[in-house]
Chain A
Amino acid sequence: MISERLFNTVLLIGFAVVPICAHLLDEPFTITLATRAAILALAAVGLNIALGLGGMVSLGHAVFFGLGGYAMGILAFHAQTLTPLSLGPLVLDGTTSMPVIWVVAVLVSSVAALVIGLLCLRTSGVYFIMITLAFGQMFYYFSVSWTAYGGEDGLSIYLRNGFPGLNTLVPLQFFGLCFAILCCVLLLNARLIRSPFGLALNAARQVPERVQTVGLNPMRLKLAAFVLSGAVTGLAGALFADLNRFVSPAMFSWQLSGEIMILVILGVVGRLCGPVAGAALFVALEHWLGGLTDFWLIWLGVILLLIVLFARGGLAGVLGARAVHHD
């Protein structure tokens, strides 16, 4: 009944209003939940570039989430312990500046996405799913066996990193920062979808042969989308690590890859704000069902099954189903 634009507006306003109310009511935990939702939404928006727009079913996006997280963890660890970070001949100082960490997180996860994308895009379909899953597991085991940064136990950071002009330890300010990034990425994403690149990518997903016939390389389009997707998810990982002030191999786990995908599906694949709706719903379910029972994941599984079997299109699809056709 409602148009996608209205759905997006209401959703984002609601997203911003809840933590402000929580701030006024002095309930910092709710603000933390909203921050968690915003960051997970950012990761899901990243995955949606590959999944929804590029049609690449990646079950390995935790790789980029984890790399972003460890970029934050390692840089902040070296700043915290006042030890230099030596990369062969290159010796760097650690940092506690969020913008620097974000740039590093985005760069590292882009390079990883480029390499993984080059390998995975040699295949398609089920092979692609299995290989992305396998690479995720590779990073997981690597992070477990690499003891310099905590190995299995992970790495704690005592102080949240700083952003010029803000006190990031105030929950509402950190939420605002994460939410602003989410909105920026959504705006860029909206422009991307309408850009020549986005249109070509859309076509490459649907009929790669025709795209090739008009002289574009579908492989290269998909690879570019995969790198963008990995970069956004990596940025989300850096923020997530800062939210928890902790990174561990769990950020690389296959469960996390699956959860990011669930966020996209709970919303709706391919739509701009679907992942945001999905992440909000996921965090609400996690909090609400998790408070009712220790085994809330059973119910998440049942809900997911029902959505896949009976309600294709997810939450945004159910609410915005009619209007989508008129867009």
Chain B
Amino acid sequence: MRRERGMSGILIIEQVLNGLQFGVMLFLMAAGLTLIFGVMGLINLAHGSLYMIGAFAAAWAVGATGSFVLALAAALGAAALVGALVEIVVIRRLYAADHLDQVLATFALILVFSEGTRWVFGSFPLYLDVPDALAGPVTLPGGIEYPLYRLTLIGAGLAVAVGLWALIERTRLGMQIRAGENDREMIAALGVDISRLYTLVFALGAALAGLAGALVGTIQSVQVGMGEPVLILAFVVIVIGGIGSVRGAFVGALLVGLTDTLGGVFLPELLGLFMAPSAAQHIGASLASMAIYILMSAVLIWRPTGLFGARA
């Protein structure tokens, strides 16, 4: 009995870590989206394409050089470059447009990027290997064995979160970003090159998405269409956290990551206490697939502008 409780304790900690890992990766996506909305007022459906581009760039760079570090650099660089280009060619014309136009134009970009990638790389998934230095499990205090790579992802995600906080709160660029969220006419009048700022913010968001794509692509597969499910989860994160709030995106991402992971594992077991195992498995899996949306609905009923959202 004692032994069993110990096992389930380890399972819980493992799943909490998995949830955290999923959450911080969602944060990388959601942070870019929420910054872009906060500063430029743009809803960018093509953010998932930048995630995909990061993953493909990493897979290509690993194939060409064999180095995981170079692959990450390629992912960051490619996503930032494509982001900046897209901003200059297309997105810039959409800031003054209504949300419907933004949705359509960025949906069109998804079609172009997804099919373009399929054209170049084909329909078969690519695989990125975990680098040797990060492969294998590591023993945590309490005797829990956990994959080192996933632990690294948690660390990397938290490091990016701290870096982003420092960038926004402590640097000149961050000051301009915060000012841009509050009053873009005023900072333009004060001599800040607003279109350069917009391109920078967009490229920054794109780079974060590309990084997430490369990091997650290593534990999943790299394929066309990988970005959109993550994009929609990032939307759920932003709705929960409040649009425009990076802090909200962080809290929301961890909530969604934990709910999704823990729900998938424990809901069937929880229901198993009340009903037959096969039915519990069946209904539990279906309920778990809906858990984060139920969470989102609850937050909406409680606070329509999200946990940290000031504006509607």
Contact = CB atoms under 8 A, between A and B. Distances in A.
Contacts of A241: none
Interface string B96-140: 010111011101111110111011000000000000000000000
A254 B228 contact: yes
B308 interface: no
A85 B109 CA distance: 43
A258 B111 CA distance: 10
A59 B104 CA distance: 10
B312 A124 contact: yes
B115 A297 contact: yes
B40 to A, nearest CB: 12
Interface stretch (B65-73, B152-160, B206-214, B288-296): B288-296
Contacts of A126: 37, 43, 99, 243
Interface in A102-141: 119, 122-127, 129-131, 133-135, 137-138, 141
B289 to A, nearest CB: 4
A283 interface: no
B25 interface: no
B232 interface: yes
Nearest to A125: B99
A133 B90 contact: no
Interface in B171-189: none
Contact of B305 (A123, A148, A261): A123
B236 interface: yes
B43 A129 contact: yes
Contacts of B108: 300-302, 304-305, 308
A261 B104 contact: yes
A298 B99 contact: no
A134 B104 contact: no
B195 interface: no
A51 B300 CA distance: 22
B304 interface: yes
Contacts of A312: 101
Given A123-B304, A125-B99, A127-B239, A262 B107 contact: yes
The A contact surface, by secondary structure, is: helix
Contacts of B288: 145
Give the size range of A's interface with the partner: 35 or more
B235 interface: yes
B300 A309 contact: no
Interface string B203-240: 00000000000000000000000001100100110110
B282 A119 contact: no
A123 B309 CA distance: 12
A295 B93 contact: no
A134 B235 contact: yes
B243 to A, nearest CB: 6
A119 B294 CA distance: 11
B100 A57 contact: yes
A218 to B, nearest CB: 15
A297 B109 CA distance: 10
Given A127-B239, A262-B104, 13 more contacts: A123-B312, A125-B99, A125-B312, A131-B296, A134-B232, A137-B293, A138-B289, A254-B232, A261-B104, A295-B119, A300-B108, A301-B112, A305-B90
Enumerate the 6 nearest inter-chain pairs by beta-carbon distance, A residue then B residue, closest first: A301-B111, A138-B293, A304-B108, A130-B235, A141-B289, A301-B112
Interface of A: 51, 57, 59, 119, 122-127, 129-131, 133-135, 137-138, 141-142, 144-148, 254, 258, 261-262, 265, 269, 295, 297-298, 300-302, 304-305, 307-309, 312
14 contacts: A122-B300, A127-B239, A129-B99, A133-B235, A134-B239, A135-B293, A144-B289, A145-B286, A148-B282, A295-B116, A298-B119, A301-B112, A308-B104, A309-B90
